Amino acid sequence: QVQLVQSGAEVKKPGSSVRVSCKTSGDTFDTYAFSWVRQAPGQGLEWMGRIVPLLDVVTSAQSFQDRVTITADKPTNTTYMELRRLRPDDTAVYYCARRGRDGPFDSWGQGTLVIVSS
């Protein structure tokens, strides 16, 4: 059974960067697409971007395009999301999610809380 395990909570200053990792186990890695989705406190879900490790193809949501970098390390079955120039409104839980064969996000990481505060 696939499992996505994310790195731990972070507290960052405005203007800095954060990198969150997501390690996959229990299934093949590189043939799936992995997305990053964030959820601000008390708010809904916001898609940030995705990577297909096999092709090293990355697609980012327009609202994050100049601030987010998504990468994958195939030997360790890990995907990373780096968000730069952090602002207080980037405070959120960040999830990685795997797009299943049928299309929806069928497996999710446990979430990583990122707090941006001076």
Which spans of this chain sit near other proteins (rule: CB under 8 A)? 35, 37, 44-47, 50, 59, 61, 95, 97, 99-100, 102-106, 108-111
Secondary structure of residue 113 in the 3-state scheme: strand
Q: Which is nearer to other proteins, 15 or 106 (CB)?
A: 106
d(CA 97, CA 11): 22
Amino acid at 112: T
CB of 110 to other proteins, least distance (A): 6
Question: What tokens were used for 92?
Answer: 């959120």
CA dihedral 97→60→38→84, nearest 10 degrees, is: 120
CB of 6 to other proteins, least distance (A): 10
Q: Which is nearer to other proteins, 35 or 77 (CB)?
A: 35
Q: Which is nearer to other proteins, 62 or 118 (CB)?
A: 62
